[in-house]
A and B are shown apart, each in its own frame.
Chain A
Amino acid sequence: MEALLDDQVDAMFQALADRTRRDIVRRVMDEELSVSELADSYEMSFAGVQKHVAVLERAGLVSKRRVGRAQIARVEMSAIRTVASLLNELEDMWRARVARIDDLLADDEAAGR
C-alpha cells in the first residue's frame, strides 16, 4: 500500500471539512450517483454541487466518469480505507468472533458439561 503524502492527507481533510462534501461522500458510498441526482438533494445550484464534487475529486476521494451527458460520481474507497483502517475493521470482526466462541463455551457451563 502506498503511503499517503502529507499533502494528499491535507487535501483529503480539507475536502472533508465541509458538511455538504461529507454528505456527498456518504451518499456516493452507497451507490454511484450523477451530479444532477446529487444536486437535487441540496438547496444549492447545480454548479455549486459540481464544485464540491470537483474538490472531492482533486482530493482523490471521489472519481467521476461520463455516461452520455451525465457525470457519474463514485467514491474511491481505497483512499478512504487505508491499510490501517482495514486491519482495524478485521480486528473488530475477529473480536466479535472471539466473543461468540466465549458465549458458546459459556453455554457448556450453563448446561453443566
Chain B
Amino acid sequence: MPVLDTTHDEETLTLTMVAEFAATPERVWEVYADPRQLERVWGPPTYPATVVDHSLTPGGRVTYYMTSPEGEKFCGLWEVSSVEEPARLVFRDYFADEDFNAVESMPGSTNTYTFEAIEGGTRVTYESAFDSLEGLKTVLDMGVVEGSTGAINQIDELLAKG
C-alpha cells in the first residue's frame, strides 16, 4: 500500500496523509501540473472530475467540476498561493458556483502538498486544514457517495460488537 501514515487532528480539523510512489518527484508533480492527469485522479469513478482552467502558478487558479451519477455538477476552485516545482504546492480549495466564483458563505480548506525524493521514488505529504466542519461535510457530500450510508453502517457495526 502506498499510504504510510495518516493523522487526524479533530481540534484543527486537519487531515495529514503520507504516501510513497514509485516515481520521481518530477513525475508525481506532473500529475498535478497536467490537467488531464489531475482529472483522472481527483474524483472517484462515480464522480468524475473535469478540470477547466489550470494555472499552477502563485496567484493562479485551477477550476474543476465533478459530475454526480445523476448528472449534477459540483464546482470547485483552487487559489494557488505557492508553487515550488517539484517540491511543494500550497493552495486554498473552495466550493464554487457554476461560473467558478468562490462561494463566500462556504468555508474552504488550506492544502499543502510536499514532495520529497526518497530511494526508489517519492514521499508525498498531503495536509488539508478545514476552516469549519461545514466545509469538511460538504467535501464529503461531493466526494463520498456512500458517506451517509457509511456512517449508519458504522453504528450497525458498533452495535454488532456490543
Binding site for B on A (CB under 8 A): 1, 13, 16-17, 22, 25-26, 29, 77, 80-81, 83-102, 104-105, 108
Contacts and interface: CB of A to CB of B under 8 A. Distances in A.
Given A90-B140, A94-B17, 14 more contacts: A22-B155, A22-B156, A29-B149, A80-B151, A84-B8, A85-B151, A86-B137, A89-B147, A90-B128, A90-B139, A93-B143, A102-B2, A104-B40, A105-B21
Nearest to A80: B151
Interface string B15-50: 101010111000110010000010011101000000
State the main secondary structure of chain A at its contact with B. helix
B48 to A, nearest CB: 11
Contact of A95 (B3, B10, B13, B140): B3
A85 B28 CA distance: 30
16 contacts: A13-B162, A80-B148, A81-B137, A81-B148, A87-B15, A89-B144, A89-B150, A89-B151, A92-B150, A94-B126, A95-B17, A101-B19, A104-B40, A104-B41, A105-B22, A108-B27
A18 B113 CA distance: 45
